[in-house]
Amino acid sequence: MTDSSEPLAEKHERNREQRIAEIERWVAYIQENPPDVWGPQLNSLIESQLEAARESGVSAAQRERVEQAGREWAKEERET
């Protein structure tokens, strides 16, 4: 569990490091296994994500606002 008093930048950095570790683990997995093993797993993951997005009830306009906010945040992060 995270401490709510922990600075936000530290939380972001820890989350980033965790994402990178997961990506590295996935890369190793797909290098060690043939596509017919990991392909269906990836398809299942993507399908479940798409289904969850469809069922979320979020409008296209709201989705665009969130995406725009994310782009603006990322731009600010790159500039700092």
CA 78, 64, 4: angle at the middle one, nearest 5?
55
Q: Let me know: does 2 contact 12? Beta carbons within 8 Å.
A: no
Distance CA 55, CA 32 (A): 35
* Per-residue pLDDT band at 35 (split at 50, 70, 90): very high
pLDDT in tens, 11-31: 999 999 999 999 999 999 999
Task: Name the residue type at position 21.
Answer: A
Can you give the pTM of this predicted structure?
A: 0.54
Which residues, including other chains, have CB under 8 Å from residue 2's CB and lie 6 or more apart? Answer: 11
Distance CA 39, CA 33 (A): 10
Tokens of 37: 């093993």
pLDDT in tens, 44-62: 999 999 899 888 888 889 8
Domain boundaries, the chain: 8-79
pLDDT in tens, 58-80: 888 988 998 999 899 888 888 87
